[in-house]
A and B are shown apart, each in its own frame.
Chain A
Amino acid sequence: MGDLFSNLGLGFGVVFQLVQWTPAFLHGVSIPIPVNILLCLIGALVGTLVGVLPGIGTIATVAMLLPITFGLPPVGALIMLAGIYYGAQYGGSTTSILVNIPGEAGSVVTALDGFQMAKQGRAGPALAIAAIGSFFAGCVATVLIAVLGAPLTKLALAFGPAEYFSLMVLGLIFAVVLAKGSVLKAIAMIVFGLLLSMVGSDIETGASRMAFNIPELADGLGFATVAMGLFGFAEIIRNLDAGGESDRELVQQKVTGLMPTKKDLIDSAPAIVRGTVLGSILGILPGGGAVIASFAAYTMEKKLSKNPSRFGRGAIEGVAAPESANNAAAQTSFIPLLTLGIPPNAVMALMVGAMTIHGIVPGPQVMQKQPELVWGMIASMWVGNLMLLIINLPLVGIWVRLLRVPYRLMFPSIVIFCAIGIYSVNNAPVDVVLAGAFGLVGYWLIKHDFEPAPLLLGMVLGPLMEENLRRALLISRGDWSVFLTRPLSAVLMGIAAFLLVLAILPSLRKKRDEVFVESES
């Protein structure tokens, strides 16, 4: 317990760190600046700004804004990225409440009742409850990360290569089972990602693999490049198909009366608590994430409600529960990343990408060797949530105005912004072309109902899986049964196999689809 407080203390110390700024024109007088808090604030603001734009999801937002953090020191960059992530998520829910165009799957459920509330002129309370619920969930999740962080790290240190490999297999299977759509196609996407990660030079032998003597491919496909193409450019192209303007209706031109009534608060309080609990659990599971959490929370509220017919017609619980769950899961999904070094979903995969660029390999070692980095990030999560609550409600007017920017002006701006961002990573024009190519690949994938998110996950896990598989087999002298004879590894593999069977069984498939279909009926 004492550990917990000292760790959190360390974290908050990092977040509130003051840097003395001594500008020349002040003649030696220095001004203390809380740099990390400022970065967190800027991240949350910029994240919301981009996340609010209709049709741009959380992954796309984080991918697009990655390059702007490259110039910062590692701690600052990660704090800012975390801020961007929450901001993007909150921005997405604002869009789904006000225009009924959810930026990504996670906000689909919020749109159901949130948009109905907005139609009834209650957009203000819906936005406020979303913010309050998210903040509460954020507080709980922050404590949870701090509590679970240290013990899980100890567990992780006991892992050998065989266990790590099995854990990654389990994580990927979870990602498939908890995702929407065809299991087979999702696995195909993961393997495609694994295959893409093989491009470049082999770590062990140094041999060039599938690089075709193109110098820019010698170091492998840039992670930021692929992410920006698959999520940034592909989304833009797809949104152009949808016709941009025609289906965008802003129900409430002006958001007034932000404060929820007492009845609203009483109605939504239990929903927020339930959503937070459910979201926290689903977030920790490898592969789980914000999407399934919000769907599950909504379904649960509907089942528990005395009057389920209210849902879909502007029930405030229908906004409170998924929004809290969404945010709780978004944060607890940092747990597997920080303790085990395994990204549980695509956004966390992006985080790994960012860390790698700063020379940090996430995992138990980081927790021990660079505690200020990890705990600073954890503390910044709480600060970030507080900021979202403070900045978003007063700034709702600005977000609403942003929603009115026509798509015909927005999309070329995003294209240019992304292009400059990618170019600036390595100053390589080839990267821009590659991202464009991946944009077309992403467009094709969407048209064929392949989810691009598992691909990203596979791409990040590819090198890790190869390395651990290699080592495990070297230690066991080529004996593949090592994954089943080591007890911990066997348990993990067993769960993975069990889950896969469950997902394929027709009756359970139906149940799983039911959770997702909820939104369409």
Chain B
Amino acid sequence: MSDTPSHAPVKSIMPSWVRGPQDFIGGVAMIAIALFALWASSDLQGMRGFSFGAGTAPRMFAFLLLGLGIAVMVVGLVTEGAHLAKYHWRGPLFVSLAILSFALMIRPMGLVVTAFAAFLIAAMGTAETKWKETIIVGMCLTAFCSLLFPYALGLPLQMWPKFMIQ
């Protein structure tokens, strides 16, 4: 699989003293998450005598993550490790866009329009898409979902755009 980063010496943006950039960045990100959690839970009450306050457990886990993040970062500094994997922008971008437009459209536009539109946006995620077949499959899938979710599974979903119903 191509997601395991290659060990080939690629031109790295990291300074040379970082010997395992993948772990280093991973550790730094964990530290950032831990610090964020510590900040976010700073307004919560701590220990009251023997009993835990609302903030005790979150802070405990955050400190633990902070320690682990530092450890992962140090491992990335001192041991030879994998380079950063190559990111692709096309897939993540269009899949995210599709999800986002689904979330924005589902309330006002209803299932049918939303599902079809989001399908087409998601399909842009790869260069291999052929539009004719994509549109046909998109229509079939929309029809299938409009039957499956509201009817077969009995979920209360609005089918058509709001302005059309009124």
A68–B155 CA distance with the chains assembled, in angstroms:
9
Please, which residue of chain B has its CB at the minimum distance from the CB of A424?
B155
A194–B56 CA distance with the chains assembled, in angstroms:
13
A474–B48 CA distance with the chains assembled, in angstroms:
11
B141: chain A residues at CB < 8 Å are 412-413, 416-417
- Select one of B52, B103, B130 contacting A408, CB under 8 A: B130
- How many residue-residue contacts, CB under 8 A, span A and B? 213
A456: CB under 8 A from chain B? no
> Which residues of A, 434-449, contact B by the 8 Å Cβ criterion?
435-436, 439-440, 443-444, 446-449
A433–B106 CA distance with the chains assembled, in angstroms:
12
B99: chain A residues at CB < 8 Å are 233, 415, 419, 432-433, 435-436, 439
- Select one of A245, A412, A420 contacting B111, CB under 8 A: A420
- Select one of B26, B45, B156 contacting A207, CB under 8 A: B45
Please, which residue of chain B has its CB at the minimum distance from the CB of A239?
B91
A212: CB under 8 A from chain B? yes
- Write out, one digit per residue, whether chain B residues 57-71 have a CB within 8 A of any chain A CB (1) or not (0): 110011011001101
Contact B61 A433 (CB under 8 A): no
A155–B59 CA distance with the chains assembled, in angstroms:
33
Please, which residue of chain A has its CB at the minimum distance from the CB of B145?
A420
Please, which residue of chain A has its CB at the minimum distance from the CB of B39?
A210
A415–B94 CA distance with the chains assembled, in angstroms:
11
Contact B52 A470 (CB under 8 A): yes
Contact A411 B125 (CB under 8 A): yes
A67: chain B residues at CB < 8 Å are 155
Contact B2 A241 (CB under 8 A): yes
- Select one of B49, B58, B62, B88 contacting A240, CB under 8 A: B88
A164: CB under 8 A from chain B? no
A469–B58 CA distance with the chains assembled, in angstroms:
13
What's the minimum C-beta distance from B13 to chain A, rounded to whole angstroms?
15
What's the minimum C-beta distance from B10 to chain A, rounded to whole angstroms?
14
Please, which residue of chain A has its CB at the minimum distance from the CB of B58?
A198
Contact A420 B115 (CB under 8 A): yes
Contact B71 A184 (CB under 8 A): yes
A256: CB under 8 A from chain B? no
What's the minimum C-beta distance from B113 to chain A, rounded to whole angstroms?
12
A466: CB under 8 A from chain B? yes
Contact B50 A412 (CB under 8 A): no
B78: CB under 8 A from chain A? no
A66–B149 CA distance with the chains assembled, in angstroms:
13
Please, which residue of chain B has its CB at the minimum distance from the CB of A431?
B103
Contact A188 B72 (CB under 8 A): yes
Please, which residue of chain A has its CB at the minimum distance from the CB of B71?
A184
- Write out, one digit per residue, whether chain B residues 124-160 have a CB within 8 A of any chain A CB (1) or not (0): 0110111001100110011001000100011111000
Contact B156 A233 (CB under 8 A): no
Contact A194 B26 (CB under 8 A): no
Contact A474 B50 (CB under 8 A): yes
Please, which residue of chain A has its CB at the minimum distance from the CB of B150?
A424
A430–B61 CA distance with the chains assembled, in angstroms:
26
- Write out, one digit per residue, whether chain B residues 88-106 have a CB within 8 A of any chain A CB (1) or not (0): 1011100110111011101
A57–B104 CA distance with the chains assembled, in angstroms:
29
> Which residues of A, 34-78, contact B by the 8 Å Cβ criterion?
67-68, 71
B96: chain A residues at CB < 8 Å are 436, 439-440
- Select one of B44, B88, B100 contacting A436, CB under 8 A: B100
A313: CB under 8 A from chain B? no
Contact A237 B72 (CB under 8 A): no
B161: CB under 8 A from chain A? no
A435: chain B residues at CB < 8 Å are 99
Contact B65 A210 (CB under 8 A): no
**Can you offer 11 A-B residue contacts whose CB atoms are under 8 A?**
A194-B61, A195-B58, A195-B61, A237-B92, A237-B95, A406-B128, A420-B145, A429-B104, A432-B106, A449-B23, A478-B50
A-B contact sample (13 more), CB < 8 A, given A411-B122, A440-B96 = A195-B34, A237-B92, A408-B130, A419-B102, A423-B157, A424-B153, A429-B103, A429-B106, A439-B99, A449-B23, A449-B82, A473-B50, A473-B51
**Taking beta carbons and an 8 Å cutoff, which residues of B are in contact with A?**
1-5, 22-23, 25-26, 29-30, 33-34, 37, 40-41, 44-45, 49-55, 57-58, 61-62, 64-65, 68-69, 71-72, 75, 82, 84-85, 87-88, 90-92, 95-96, 98-100, 102-104, 106-107, 111, 115, 118-120, 122-123, 125-126, 128-130, 133-134, 137-138, 141-142, 145, 149, 153-157
